[in-house]
Structure 1
C-alpha cells in the first residue's frame, strides 16, 4: 500500500512527462546501486560493509539533494537539477564505499574466489535449449 501510494504521488507530480519519471528512476538506482555493483565485481578490496555504506549513504544523499532542489527551491550545484540528482548520490556512494571498505577487513578468500568466478567465468557452456 505504501509503495502504491508513493507511486501515485510521484505520478501526480507531472515530472515533465514520462521522461522525468524515467530519469528519477535511473537517478535513484544510480545513487545507491551503481558503484557497489561495479566495485563489488571489479575491485578486490570491496567488502560487504563498504557496499552497504555505499548503498545507504548514496541513496540518502541523492534523495536529500532531490528534496532540496525540487521541493525546497535550493539553487542546484553546478547546474545539477532535479533530473540529474543521481550524480550527487553516486559520488557519495563511491566515496563512502571506498572509505568504509578500506577501514574494515578485506573479504575472505572464499568471497574473493566467488568474485573472480563472476568476473571471469569458466567451465562447461550450458545452453537452456539443451536442458
Structure 2
C-alpha cells in the first residue's frame, strides 16, 4: 500500500513520529553543546549540569511532546482499527501535527501565551480524533 493511500490519520501519525525524532535529535544536539561531548559520551552518573536558555526550553518542549504523543497515537490507532475515521478525525490529526510543529519554535523562542494556545490546539486535535470513537 502506498503512503498516499493510507488513511490520513495514519499518515499524520507517521509524520508525528518523524517530528518527535526530529525534536529528540535537536534537543540532544543542543544538550550536548551545553554539557559537552565528554558528558554525553560518559556514563552520565550523578546530577547532570543544568541546561539553560534554548537548550532547557527544547528539552521541555520534547518532554511536553512525549506527554501528548501517546494519547494521539492511541486515538489514531483506535479510530483506524475500528474504521471510525471521518473528516473530523482527519482534521483533528492534522491539527495535532501542525500545532506540534508550531509549538517547537514558539517554545524555543520563549514566547508565552501563544505557545500555550498552540498546545491547546494540539489537545483539541487529539479530542477530535477521539470523538470518532463515540
Task: Please report the TM-score for the alignment, with normalisation by the length of structure 2.
Answer: 0.38
Higher CA-based Rg: 1
Structure with greater helix percent: 2
